[in-house]
Structure 1
Amino acid sequence: MASVLKVPVISPCLVTKSEIKPRFRVRVQSLGGNEASALSLDSAVLNESPINREKEKLGTLIEGGNGKSRPVVEKETVKDVGVRKELELLWDDGYGTKTAKDYLDGAKEMIKPDGGPPRWFCPIECGQPIKNSPLLLFLPGVDGVGLGLTLHHKALGKVFEVRCLHIPVNDRTPFEGLVKFVEETVRLEHGLSPKEPIYLVGESFGGCLALAIAARNPKIDLVVILANPATSSSIDLQTLDPILEALPEGLYNMVPYLLGFVTGDPLKMAMVDIEYRLPPRLKMEQLSRNLVDLLSRVPGLAEIIPKGTLIWKLKLLKSAAAYANSRLHAVKAEVLLLASGNAEEALRLKGSLQNCIVRLFKDNGLSMLMEDGINLLTVIKGTGKYRRSKMHDYVSDFIQPSISEFKYSSDEVIGPLRFATGSTMYSTLDDGTIVKGLSGIPNEGPVLLIGYHMLMGLEIYSLAEEFLRQKDILVRGVAHPDVFSQKFLGPTPGFSLQDWIQVMGAVPVSGSNLFKLLKAKSHILLYPGGSRESLHNKGEAYKLFWPDQPEFVRMAARFGATIVPFGTVGEDDLQEEVLDYHDLMKIPIISDQIRETNRQATWVRDESKGEVANQDITIPVLLPKIPGRFYFLFGKPIQTKGERKMLEDRESANRLYLQIKSEVEKSIAYLLKKREEDPYRSLIDRAIYSALYTPLREVPAFDP
C-alpha cells in the first residue's frame, strides 16, 4: 500500500498533468492565487516529480511552511509529528554548518527551468518550529532563487514558520505582479491568524517588495526586516543595457560577481564556518581553503542570472525602488533595517519610516546574510523584534541562547573582560560552609540572586557566564529600562553589548516582569541599588544604596522563592574613578548634557524610595589600572517557602529585607579581607600561572 503524503498548495509548474494519476486530491494554485480544479496525484509519480528530485537538497516546495501548514488537502488524515514546547538552553542553531558554497550549489538545482511562475517553498533544514511560532516570508534579492537565508535556515526554522519566495530564472512577472502575489499570501495568513504577526524578511530587491507590501497593508501586523534594501539605485540602465547585450558569453560570466548582486565580501563569506577558538595559523589555513573553494564556484553565478535575466532584473529593480520610495510614508509596520558599509541610505530610510531601528554592520559587504558575523535570529532577538502576539513580552517571547550565541558572546564579546578580571566564585552551603564554585546555589528555581552592583556593572557578565558553565543555568538579569531603549543610541548603531544583554536573557525592571520570571521558576539577578549603585561617586565603593522599602521580598514569598544574597569586589582593582557626577556637574557644557540626558531617562522609582532615587545619574570618567581580580561570594540560601505571612505582615518583610542587606555587606567585607591572601590576584601572576600550568579560568585563588 502506498504511503500517505501530505501535499499542500503546489504551483502547477511543479506537477504537470501528464504526471497525474488517481491517488491524492489537492488544489493546484498558480501565481495570483487562481485555483484550478482539484487534481489527483499518485505517490509513486510524485516521487519522480521535480518536487521530490529537489526535496532532499533544497527543501519541501510547499506553501504551508515548516510548521503548521495551511493545507488544502481533502479528506486525508496525516500523522502529526508533534511540536517542541520550547527550545532547551544552549540549543544547536546550526550557524556555521552552511556557507555561501551551499547557496551556490543549491541555486544550481533551483534554477532549472520548469516554465512555472513564482512560488513558495520551505527548506528542509528549517525543520519544525516550536509551538505558536509566527510566519516568516523571505523575499529574495535580484537572484530570485530564494536561498538567501541558507546560513540561517536551521535557526530560523526553530522559531518561525519559514517560507521562501522562488522566482524562476526565466520568469518575467512585473513588480506589481509580484506585489500582488505576496500580498495575497499575507492577507490569507492574516485572515487565518489575525492576532499573530507576520514577518517579511527582504534582501536587496526583496526589501523593496517588503516595503511595498507593508505600505499597502497598514492594518496588518507586520514586522519588516530589511537587509541592504535596494531602495537607492545608481545604475544607469540606458548605458548598461547595450553593454550587457554586446558582451560575449565568456566575459559575461564575471558580470554578476563584479556587480555584486549575489555576492558580498568573499573573505567574510569564507570565514563563516571557521571556529573562533582555532589558533591563528589553523584559521588562516582553513580560510585559504574556503576561499579557493568559494571562488571556484564564481563562474556558476552567470547561470543563476543569465544575461537576459540580468537585464530584466535591473529594470525590475528600478521599478521596485521607485514603487517603494513613493510609499515609504504609508509604512506603519515596525521595521528593522540591517545595513552594511555606507550608512547614508540607512539614515534616509530611518528618517522616512515611522517605526524603524537600524543596525549597521560596517565591516560586511552587500550580501551580509551570507557573511560571517551576522546571525539573523540573534539580531532579531537582540533588538527585541521576536514576538508571537501583538506586543513583545520579555518573558513569554524569550528564546533561550543557542550554543553558537554563547560561544561568540563568551569569546568575542566578554572574552577580554574575562581575561582581565579572572573572576572567581564562592558559595555557601546550607550548613554555612563556604566552598569554591557554585555548588551552594539551588538548581531549582525560583531563585532570587540579590547583590551589590559594582561600578559600571561589569560583574554581571562574569556572573552570567559562570552560571552557564558551572550550573547549566541561565540567569535572567533585571535591568534598567533604558538599557533596552533606542533613545540613547546613535542613528546607526552596530549590534552592541546592549543587544547581547537582551540575547542572554535580561529584562526591563518592573513588577510584572519580576512576577512572570518568578512564576516561570527562573534564576533572577536583581540589584536593589540599581543604577545609583553601579554609577556611584568617588569614595562610595562597596557602599549599598538600597531603597527604603522591601520591594522584592513579598513577591519572592508569594512564589516561595529562594533568596541568595551575594557580594562582589574588584572594581577598585580594575579602574579608578577620576571624575564623578559632582565633578562633571561643575563643567558647564557637560552639566547641560547630563541634565538633558536625565530629563529623557526613564525613572523607575520616585523620591519616596530614598537616596537610591533622588539623584541624577551619569557615567563617570574612569582611569584603567593593571587589572586585579573579581571575587564573588554567594551567601547561605534563604527560604521563603511557607512564609506567606510576609505578604500581609510588612514588619516581617522588612526584617527579612534588612537581613538580606546585612548578608550582602558581610559577603563584601569577607571578600575584601580574603582577597589579600590570593597569590594570583594580579593579572600578571595569573597569566604566568596559566601559561605554565592550566587555562586561565582554572587559576586558583584563596582558600575559603
Structure 2
Amino acid sequence: MALSLPFSSTPLLPRHFHHFLRLRPAAVTGAPPSYPSSTPTVRSPEKKVQKNANSDVNLEVLYDDKSGTESVKDYLDASREIIKSDGGPPRWFSPLECGQPVQGAPLLLFLPGIDGTGFGLILHHKSLGRVFEVRCLHIPVTDRSEFKELVALVEYSVKHEHRLSPNRPVYLVGDSFGCCLALAVAARNPIIDLVLILVNPASSFGRSQLQPLLPVLEALPSDLHVAVPYLLSFVMGDPVKMAMATVADDLPPQQTFDELSKSLTALLPRLSDLADIIPKETLIWKIKLLKSASSYVTSRLHAIKAEVLVLASGKDNLLPSKDEADRLSSSLKNCRVRYFKDSGHTLLFEDGINLLTIIKGVNMYRHSKCIDFVEDYLPPTIGEFRKSFEQGNRLFHHAISPVMLSTLRNGRIVKGLNGIPNEGPVLLVGYHMLMGLELSSIYEAFLREKRIIIRGMAHPFLFSSRKENSQQEFSRFDEMNVFGALPVSPMNLYRLLAKKSFVLLYPGGAREALHRKGEEYKLFWPDQPEFVRMAARFDATIVPFGVVGEDDIAELVLDYDDQTRIPFMRKRIEEINQDSSVRIRTDKSGEVSNQELYFPGLLPKVPGRFYFLFGKPIETREMKSILKDRENANKLYLQIKSEIESIIAYLKRKREEDPYRSIFQRAIYQASWGVDSAPTFEP
C-alpha cells in the first residue's frame, strides 16, 4: 500500500486534522464547539466551483461504476494501515478510490460502526464517488471521545457545509453505531436538509445480544481476547457472501466456485486482524458508547424531520435490525425501509448489495431540496443492467423470448430496432399490456441494441410511500426507477422532450394495464390529443408501437369487476385508491377515467412468446400547424391510435406463422443448435 505524507502541513485544530493514508484530505473540516476561538481550514465556495468545473458533466449510459473491484480483504488492509498512526483525534478523510464526482454532486458523509476506521464503505467507494463527494469519519482505536463530542464533530461539519451550499442536501450514511450519530445530528438540526441512510441501526442496542457481553469482556484475560473479534466476524456476517463480493457474476459455475475458494482462502485467515482494529479496551469502550448513543437517540426521535432510509438485515445476529426498522418506520415522519432478509449485520460488505443502486431505486438521489425526476436522474450502470436483465430477469426473458421488429422510413418492417431514430426527442406511444408485462423487454432491447435510456411515464402510485411497509424489499418497482421511470405529468413530458429524451407513453394508462376480461388488446384512450401538440412543439418523432402475447402466458381469472363483488377485496381496492394524490384523469369522462388500481388474479399458462412492432416514425417537424389547429391535431392523434391497432392486428396474424411460438419448440431448437434464441416468422 502506497503511502504519502502522513499529515497535512496546514495549521490545524488540536481536535481535528486531515489524514493522508490511501486518502486525499477532506474538504470539510469540523471541530467541537469547545474551540470557538480557532479558525478551521476550509475550502472556499470559489474553490468548490473550480473543482466542479473540472468534473465530468454527464455519465454515459451503461457506464462501469467499478462495483466489486474492492473486497473485505482491502478493508482489512486499509484498516491495519490507518491504525498505525492514529494518535490523533477523530477526523474526516476522502478516499482516493472515490475519484472526482460529477458536477454539482451532493456531499455524502459516512459515519462508521464500532470499528471506527471509516472504511466500511470501501466496496462502494468507486460507485458512490462518481456521483457524491464522499467523506468518511475515522475514529482512532485509542480515541475515547464521548458520544456527545462525536455528535458535535459531525454537526459542525454539517453546519459548515450547509452554510456553503444551503440548497444542497447533505447525505449521512450511518453503519450500526454511525446511525446513532446520524439520527442525533438530524434531531438537533431539523431545519437542515439531511438525507439519512441507516444500515442496521444500533439505536436498537437496548435490545441487542451485545448487552450481556460487556461484563464477560471485562473479566476476560488479555491473552484470550484475540479470539473475540475473530468469533465476532462470523456473527456479524456471512463470510461466503463477503468473499463473493469480488467474484464476477457472469462466470460459469466451476470457475465461480474456484474464484470463491480463492477469495475465501485469502479472507478467512485475515479476519483475526480485527483483534488489532478493535482491541479489548476499545471494544469495551465502544459497547459502553453504544449504550449511551442508543439512549440519547431514542429520546429524540420525535424531533427528526429528515428524509430517512433504513436498510435492515434479516439475519443480523448482533442487533434486532428488523424490529428496529419497524420502530423507526412508525416513529419517524419521513422514513422508508428496504429489508434484506438473507443478509447479516455487515450488509455493506456482502455480495449483491450496491448502495448507489438502492439510493437510485428509492428515488433519494437529488441535488436540491426536492427531487427533480428529470435533472436528478442517473443513467444505469453496466452492473445494474447485468443484474436486472441477465440475472434477475433471465428466466422471464427466456420464457417469453421477445421478438423485436421496427419499421424503416420507407415502410419496410425489419428485425431489431434499426427503424428507431438514434437521436431524440422521440416519443414512443403504444399499447399497455396486462400488468405492464412488456416493459422489461422494451427497456432491455433499447439498452442492449442502441444504448438508449427510455424514460417511462408511470402511474404516480408507484412513487407513493403508501404502497410500502417496514419489510419492503428491493423490488421490481425500484428497478423501474433505476431504469428511468418517472411520474406521468404534462410538465415531466414537456421537460423530457425539451432535453431530447426518449419517452415512453401509454395514453391508456392503468385502464389498459389493468383491463377486464375480454378486453385484451383493446385501447382505452382519451378523446383529446394529450401528447400530439406537445411533441410538435419540440419537433419530436412519434413512434407508435404495439405488442401481443399476454394471452400466451396468463389467463385473467379475477378482474376488477369480480373483486368489487367480494367485500374484503372491494375494501382493499378502496384503500389503495383513497389517496387523491395518486389519482389521475379525474377530469375525463368515459372508460379512460376509470384509473382504479387493483391486483388482478392471474392463472399462469405454458409460456408462449411476445411480439413487438414499432411502426413507421412520424416526424412532427413539418407539422407546426397542429400547435394551433385542434382539428389537425386530432386527426394525427386518431391516425396514431389507428396505426397501433393495425400493428396489433398484424402481430396477432403473423405470430401464427412462427414455428417457435411455443416454449417447447424453442427449447428443442436452442438445445439442438446451442443458441440463446430461436428464429421467428419473416416480417
- TM bucket, shorter chain: over 0.9
Deviation of residue 287 (structure 1)? 1.9
- 1:648 equivalent to 2:628? Answer yes
Deviation by residue 1:365-415 (Cα, 9 ceiling, x = unmatched): 001011112100111110010000010011100000011111101123322
Partner of 1:190: 162
Deviation of residue 104 (structure 1)? 0.8
Contact 1:121 1:166 in 2 (8 A): yes
Pick from 578, 587, 600 the counterpart of residue 579 of structure 2: 600
Measure, in 1, the Cα distance between the counterparts of 2:331 and 2:594: 39
Pick from 163, 182, 188 the counterpart of residue 210 of structure 1: 182
Partner of 2:89: 117
Pick from 604, 607, 619 the counterpart of residue 639 of structure 1: 619
Partner of 2:36: none
Partner of 1:662: 642
- 1:672 equivalent to 2:652? Answer yes
Measure, in 1, the Cα distance between the counterparts of 2:184 and 2:570: 45
Query: Cα 1:694–1:469, aligned 2, differ >3 Å: closer, same or farther?
Result: farther
Partner of 1:494: 473
Deviation by residue 1:213-239 (Cα, 9 ceiling, x = unmatched): 000011111001100010112468895
Partner of 1:358: 337
Partner of 1:435: 414
- The within-5 A match list for 1:261-340 is 263-340=236-313
Amino acid at match of 2:7: L
Deviation of residue 645 (structure 1)? 1.8
Deviation of residue 27 (structure 1)? 3.8
Structure 2's unaligned 5+ residue stretches are 30-40, 315-320
Measure, in 2, the Cα distance between the counterparts of 1:245 and 1:183: 32
- 1:28 equivalent to 2:9? Answer no
Pick from 50, 60, 77 the counterpart of residue 24 of structure 2: 60
Deviates more, 1:237-246 or 1:680-689: 237-246
Deviation of residue 246 (structure 1)? 3.8
Measure, in 1, the Cα distance between the counterparts of 2:502 and 2:269: 50
Partner of 2:32: none
Amino acid at match of 1:62: A
- The within-5 A match list for 1:381-420 is 381-420=360-399
Q: TM-score, normalised by structure 1?
A: 0.90
- 1:219 equivalent to 2:183? Answer no
Query: Cα 1:440–1:72, aligned 2, differ >3 Å: closer, same or farther?
Result: closer
Contact 2:72 2:349 in 1 (8 A): yes
- The within-5 A match list for 1:563-642 is 563-600=542-579, 602-614=582-594, 616-642=596-622
Aligned positions, number: 660
Amino acid at match of 2:143: D
Measure, in 2, the Cα distance between the counterparts of 1:427 and 1:595: 41
Deviation of residue 642 (structure 1)? 3.0
Measure, in 2, the Cα distance between the counterparts of 1:380 and 1:548: 39
Measure, in 2, the Cα distance between the counterparts of 1:316 and 1:223: 24
Q: Partner of 2:85: helix, strand, or coil?
A: coil
Deviation of residue 491 (structure 1)? 2.9
Measure, in 1, the Cα distance between the counterparts of 2:420 and 2:27: 48
Contact 1:579 1:620 in 2 (8 A): yes
Deviates more, 1:455-464 or 1:240-249: 240-249
Measure, in 2, the Cα distance between the counterparts of 1:449 and 1:643: 18
Contact 1:27 1:73 in 2 (8 A): no
Query: Cα 1:609–1:648, aligned 2, differ >3 Å: closer, same or farther?
Result: farther
Deviation of residue 605 (structure 1)? 0.4
Measure, in 2, the Cα distance between the counterparts of 1:235 and 1:433: 67
- The within-5 A match list for 1:338-377 is 338-341=311-314, 343-377=322-356
Partner of 1:690: 670
Q: Partner of 1:343: helix, strand, or coil?
A: helix
Deviation by residue 1:506-561 (Cα, 9 ceiling, x = unmatched): 11100111111101111111111111001111111111111111101010000000
Measure, in 2, the Cα distance between the counterparts of 1:614 and 1:462: 27
Measure, in 1, the Cα distance between the counterparts of 2:42 and 2:326: 39
Measure, in 2, the Cα distance between the counterparts of 1:335 and 1:74: 31
Contact 2:660 2:666 in 1 (8 A): yes
Measure, in 1, the Cα distance between the counterparts of 2:545 and 2:211: 70
Contact 2:229 2:272 in 1 (8 A): no
Partner of 1:14: 7
Partner of 2:131: 159
Query: Cα 1:579–1:267, aligned 2, differ >3 Å: closer, same or farther?
Result: same
Query: Cα 1:349–1:669, aligned 2, differ >3 Å: closer, same or farther?
Result: same
Amino acid at match of 1:60: R
Measure, in 2, the Cα distance between the counterparts of 1:240 and 1:583: 57
Measure, in 2, the Cα distance between the counterparts of 1:566 and 1:149: 44
Deviation by residue 1:677-700 (Cα, 9 ceiling, x = unmatched): 11111111112222222432x421
Partner of 1:23: none
Contact 1:14 1:116 in 2 (8 A): no
Deviation by residue 1:153-190 (Cα, 9 ceiling, x = unmatched): 01111111110000111111111111111111111110
Measure, in 2, the Cα distance between the counterparts of 1:425 and 1:330: 53
Partner of 1:100: 72
Pick from 484, 506, 527 the counterpart of residue 527 of structure 1: 506
Deviation of residue 583 (structure 1)? 1.5
Measure, in 2, the Cα distance between the counterparts of 1:504 and 1:150: 25
Partner of 2:539: 560
Contact 1:146 1:165 in 2 (8 A): yes
Amino acid at match of 1:295: L
Measure, in 2, the Cα distance between the counterparts of 1:495 and 1:648: 46
Q: TM-score, normalised by structure 2?
A: 0.93
Measure, in 2, the Cα distance between the counterparts of 1:110 and 1:669: 67
Measure, in 2, the Cα distance between the counterparts of 1:559 and 1:235: 59
Amino acid at match of 1:318: K
Measure, in 2, the Cα distance between the counterparts of 1:466 and 1:78: 39
- 1:539 equivalent to 2:511? Answer no
Deviation by residue 1:490-516 (Cα, 9 ceiling, x = unmatched): 332001111010000111100111111
Deviation by residue 1:290-344 (Cα, 9 ceiling, x = unmatched): 2222111011110000111111111111111111111111111010111101521
Deviation of residue 127 (structure 1)? 0.3
Contact 2:583 2:595 in 1 (8 A): no
Contact 1:448 1:526 in 2 (8 A): yes
Measure, in 2, the Cα distance between the counterparts of 1:30 and 1:476: 51
Partner of 2:142: 170
**Identity %, equivalent residues:** 57
Measure, in 2, the Cα distance between the counterparts of 1:480 and 1:335: 24
Amino acid at match of 2:361: G
Contact 2:510 2:595 in 1 (8 A): no
